[in-house]
Amino acid sequence: MGLRSHHLSLGLLLLFLLPAECLGAEGRLALKLFRDLFANYTSALRPVADTDQTLNVTLEVTLSQIIDMDERNQVLTLYLWIRQEWTDAYLQWDPNAYGGLDAIRIPSSLVWRPDIVLYNKADAQRPGSASTNVVLRHDGTVRWDAPAITRSSCPVDVAAFPFDAQRCGLTFGSWTHGGHQLDVRPRGAAASLADFVENVEWRVLGMPAQRRVLTYGCCSEPYPDVTFTLLLHRRAAAYVCNLLLPCVLISLLAPLAFHLPADSGEKVSLGVTVLLALTVFQLLLAESMPPAESVPLIGKYYMATMTMVTFSTALTILIMNLHYCGPSARPVPAWARALLLGHLAQSLCVQERGEPCGQSRSPELSPSPQSPEGGAGPPAGPCHEPRCLCHQEALLHHVATIANTFRSHRAAQRCHEDWKRLARVMDRFFLGIFFSMALVMSLLVLVQAL
């Protein structure tokens, strides 16, 4: 800073000492005007003729580029062009006295400049002014155009991520002058976006300006400021392709575990694999999101999908237990036989092999073992006659025993088949339920992207 001031003082000294013969006609007039204006001028005091007079400063901001939006630290970095205009009562002249010269350009460090700073600054660097020239007109109007890279705090709300919109305010005002000494006002109703470079992640909806007059606890006089509110809307295409669409496809794959045959041995493995995949995507999402009280929309969708997959896996285990009920299991209850194996199986088109769709097998009671007619006791006694009827009765007794054993085996097999059929009905029912849930949740999230 000292070196720059040294070079500036040396340049002014050379300008004052430069012979007028070395300059052209316009240059001699500009040099004469410069010497006349700054002969007794000081940039340390507010340039007003009356100390009770308020100096009006007009502020204009042009947004050039969004450099970075740090959502985790909630810091917005912008590249701005800032224009300030005010009237200096001590820098006025008659253009006719200087050959019609009505404006000159001089270093900004030579004139008084308003101490307008960014109130919500978010970096530790000292506020500095760009070393650009100012345009000085004959009526005392000073126009100062300076580029600036600002880092401002911006509260980020990720409740609707990745379809969220953000509002980031940039508040400019004088740091030491109150409203009775310096009044700042915006030029126009909004910042200019004519030279804005489009951002790949954010779409700018506007940047309206608002003037406020506040009274702080440190001081009794009011302090005016100008707040430019940057309205941003996130471009969600990248997040939909990289985070949301894979989750939608995985969530639609999870209910297909109910469609796998129980004998395949992969029903539970599919549910666990889907749950692990969703966990990996959830970790990737958590790394890119700032810590906040509100859960983002895509996070809610992930948690709902993981809960659905967990319940579907638990139901798959229960249904597999029904499928593997052995011959020793109790028969299917009458209400389940009538409601599930009857009406529900018919509506879901779950039929046995060779049975046409829409016609379910009528419920049958499991036959109980029957004893042969006339009793199953032993023969009346030994008979020594070869053609006696008692030998035929013994043969009939053995045949009846074999028939009863076959009937019992058929009844046990029928009970086992009923439990298998009940498991297929439950698989088909929960397949429709969970697939509909996954489809509805996915559509509700994807419709936000339209």
Examine residue 375 and state whether it is found in any structural domain, yes or no: no
Asked if residue 205 and residue 84 are part of one domain, the reply reads: yes
Q: Over its length of 450 residues, how does the chain's per-residue pLDDT go in tens digits?
A: 444 444 434 344 444 444 444 445 667 888 999 999 999 999 999 999 888 899 999 999 999 999 999 888 899 999 999 999 999 999 999 999 998 999 999 999 999 999 999 999 988 776 555 678 999 999 999 999 999 999 999 998 888 888 889 999 999 999 989 888 999 999 999 999 999 999 999 999 999 999 999 888 777 789 999 999 999 999 988 888 888 888 888 888 888 888 888 777 788 888 888 889 888 888 888 877 777 777 888 888 888 889 998 998 888 888 888 777 766 667 777 787 777 777 777 777 776 654 555 555 544 444 444 444 444 444 444 555 555 655 567 677 767 777 777 676 666 667 667 778 888 888 888 888 889 998 898 888 878 766
- Residue 194: the pLDDT is 93
CATH of the domain at 167: 2.70.170.10
**Residue ranges making up the domain that contains 440:** 240-342+397-449
- Residue 87: the pLDDT is 95
Domain boundary among 178, 201, 234: 234
Asked if residue 334 and residue 264 are part of one domain, the reply reads: yes
Asked if residue 184 and residue 326 are part of one domain, the reply reads: no
Asked if residue 178 and residue 48 are part of one domain, the reply reads: yes
* Long-range Cβ pairs for the range 407-415 (8 Å, 24+): 407/367, 407/369, 407/370, 408/369, 410/367, 411/366, 411/367, 411/368, 412/327, 412/328, 413/327, 414/364, 414/366, 415/327, 415/329, 415/330, 415/331, 415/332, 415/366
Asked if residue 192 and residue 259 are part of one domain, the reply reads: no
- Residue 244: the pLDDT is 85
- Residue 15: the pLDDT is 45
Asked if residue 227 and residue 264 are part of one domain, the reply reads: no
Domain boundary among 199, 234, 269: 234
Asked if residue 121 and residue 102 are part of one domain, the reply reads: yes
- Residue 7: the pLDDT is 42
- Residue 350: the pLDDT is 73
- Residue 389: the pLDDT is 56
Asked if residue 117 and residue 172 are part of one domain, the reply reads: yes
Examine residue 21 and state whether it is found in any structural domain, yes or no: no
Asked if residue 150 and residue 109 are part of one domain, the reply reads: yes
Examine residue 140 and state whether it is found in any structural domain, yes or no: yes
